[in-house]
Amino acid sequence: MRCKIPLIFVAFLSSNAFCAELPMIDSDRYYQSTTAMFSDSTKKTIYDSCMQAEKSYGEKLKAKWAIVPEDAQASCVTLMSSTMITGNQSYFGCAAIAVGNACMEGKMTCK
């Protein structure tokens, strides 16, 4: 994907209980393999989750939410991570896996 001009950045993280059940992961690998794209209909759901996570985790959370235009397509939403999460690098992977699973199970609409 060719990303141009990120417009919006907010935080996103899956639940602590979900993360606790996962093995240690390679956050760089998941950054490459689980970058996910969402339709407009999921923006509010994920935004609300982001805001709740931000309240819950505060300074521990440093993930990015970016809206980027793509070649030959309308603007789309991409979940990205800076992997700069204080104290626990595996948190991004938890979020990525949670998002990927939700998409595959039809709980989120993925473009």
For range 95-110, the mean pLDDT: 49
Residues contacting 45, CB < 8 A, separation 6+: 108
The amino acid at residue 74 is A
Residue 64 is predicted with a pLDDT of 38
- What's the pLDDT band for 28 if we cut at 50, 70, 90? very low
Dump pLDDT digits (tens) for 34-75.
Answer: 344 445 555 555 555 555 555 555 444 344 333 333 322 222
- What's the pLDDT band for 17 if we cut at 50, 70, 90? very low
pTM higher than the cut 0.85: no
Average pLDDT, the chain: 42
Residue 61 is predicted with a pLDDT of 38
Contact 60, 85 (CB under 8 A): yes
- Strand pairing report for 63-70 and 73-81: antiparallel
Q: Where are the domains of the chain?
A: 16-104
